[in-house]
Amino acid sequence: MNLSNTVACGISLICGMACSLGATERPSLDRCITTALEVNSDVRSASARITAAKAAIEEASSAFYPQIGLAGTWARTDNPPQAFFMSLNQRRASLQKDFNNPEDAENARGSVTAQWRVYDSGRREADRETVALGARAEAYSLETVRNELVFEVTHAYLSLLQAREFVAVHQEAVASLEEHLRVANARVATGGALKIDVLNLEVQLSQAREERIRANNRIELALAALNAAIGKDLVQMADVPFLTDHMSLIAGKASVEAAPESRPEWGAVQARIGMAEAMTKRARRDYLPVVNAFGSVDWDCEPFSGPEQSYLVGAVVELNLFDGFRTRAGLARASASLVSAQAQADKLRTMLALDVTRSRLNEREARERLEIATKGIAVAEEALRITRERYVQGVAEVTDLITAQTGLTAMKARQVAAHYDHLIALADIERAGGRLAATRAHKVSGMDLVEEHSGAARKVSQ
């Protein structure tokens, strides 16, 4: 573990994710992230919402096309007006017949109908804009889920490595105390030490073994947390000894300035503000007129006779004069939603700025802790070496030996904690900047799909 390089360099946790799911090597961090992005339930749910949003764009765009349908009916009646009009449509009506007592009449009708909204004062454009911005918000939500998921998997993976290193630290402490106990027993056998030294070391050894048991249990918990974050039991206990904390490094620390505007959450809230504005515009359009064109071609005949063709075309203009204040209430509701969305954006900006600040402060703290712990280990190792020699020579007390050993174990544990806390903090800076999952350029993002369908919808409206 090269700690100096870790302190000197930042990490790019997801560069070069080329490991396939079918590979036989031990799961790497890249493979864990790739698998999570494919199978995690949150990602699948967000992807499904984007699919629904794309369908909503197509549904809104359909309003720009004419609506064409087919219909067929058959009827039989002796009702005088209906019987007369059946004969009239069949072009065989006669004034010589008794209109009040007609014979039973039959009519078979086939129709082709068409309707087209010629003008609606911008209602369709506003509807399409609303659903397109809703799709954009869902795409940003997917990017948010990916960004958070990559960090969650990274955090869990590094926490597993941290738990493994804690086991190694406590195992080393147990081995060292066993050696101290052997030396103490030898001294007691030669009369150079008291039995109390052996008892004190045995107590300390029991405590060290207890800490080792706890550390082993933390490995199992960390492994379960990692697989839960992935959404699949990808990493097994047999893989843990072979996992590595080697990361792809980039020059310099992860200190690129990040702004709230770089976060996908900010893009989502801006899209929702746009939706509220479009809905407000749509509500105002309800005060304006609508023009619809319609037409049909009909074929009427008696069964088993030749049909007679007719047509009907026309247009209708509609203007709402009074609707019980429904339109006014809808406009007020849409305007209030816009104010609410803008207030949420203001709050989100503050929270995102705080998130960036917190992540940077955590990184600085972990880095400074790591520097201190790295220097302290050398001092603690030298102190233990000197104390052990003095104890063997009968100059130092066993309590001095225990204190030195406890100090070294604690310093190594602090170094392991600071090392992985620093790596996690570097990843958290990337997450807070909204960049942690952004480098997966080889995958088509939800935003790409939304832009594609939004462009197609714009062409339809034009």
pLDDT, tens digit, 9 for 90 and up, residues 303-345? 778 888 999 999 999 998 998 999 999 999 999 999 999 999 9
- The pLDDT value recorded for residue 36 is 92
Residue-by-residue DSSP string for 441-455: TTSPPHHHHHHHHHH
- Counting Cα atoms < 13 Å in the Cβ hemisphere of 396 gives 19
What residues form DSSP beta bridges with 67?
115
> Residue ranges per domain, the chain?
3-66+126-289+332-461
Parts of the chain with a pLDDT under 70: 1-25, 245-259, 438-462
d(CA 72, CA 74): 7
Strand partners, 294: 115, 314
Dig out the tokens for 184 from the structure.
Answer: 């103490």
What lies within 8 Å, CB to CB, of 225 at 6+ separation is 156, 159, 160
- pLDDT for the residue numbered 191: 84
Does the domain at 3-66+126-289+332-461 match CATH 1.20.1600.10? Answer given as: yes
pLDDT at 224: 96
Tokens of 355: 């998130």
Query: At how many degrees (to 10) do helices 29-39 and 41-61 cross?
Result: 40
Residue 44 region, left (φ>0) first, then alpha (ψ -120 to 50), else beta?
Answer: alpha
Q: Which distant-in-sequence residues (6+ apart) come within 8 Å of 358 by Cβ?
A: 432
Are 111 and 70 in contact by the 8 Å Cβ rule? The answer is yes
Question: What is the model's pLDDT at position 330?
Answer: 93
Q: What is the pLDDT of residue 161?
A: 94
Rounded Cα distance, 320 and 54, in Å? 32
Provide the Cα torsion 237, 242, 248, 254; round to 10°: 50
**Residue 117 corresponds to which tokens in the numbers above?**
């909204």
- Report the pLDDT value the prediction gives residue 458, as an integer from 0 to 100: 53
Round to whole Å and give the CA distance between 224 and 50: 30
End-to-end CA distance of the chain: 61
Q: How far apart are CA 302 and CA 115, in angstroms?
A: 28
| Separation of alpha carbons 225 and 147, rounded Å | 18
C-alpha to C-alpha distance for 171 and 167, rounded to whole angstroms? 6
| pLDDT for 26 | 77
Instruction: Report the pLDDT value the prediction gives residue 8, as an integer from 0 to 100.
Output: 34
pLDDT in tens, 174-183: 999 999 999 9
The chain-wide mean pLDDT, for the chain, equals: 85
> Which amino acid type is present at position 194?
L
Please name which of 113, 120, 128 lies closest in space to residue 292, comparing C-alpha atoms.
Answer: 120
Q: What is the pLDDT of residue 28?
A: 87
Separation of alpha carbons 241 and 285, rounded Å: 66
Quote the pLDDT of residue 454: 53
Q: Which residues sit opposite 297 in a β-bridge?
A: 112, 311
Q: How far is Cα 233 from Cα 225, in angstroms, rounded to an integer? A: 10
The DSSP code for 125 is H
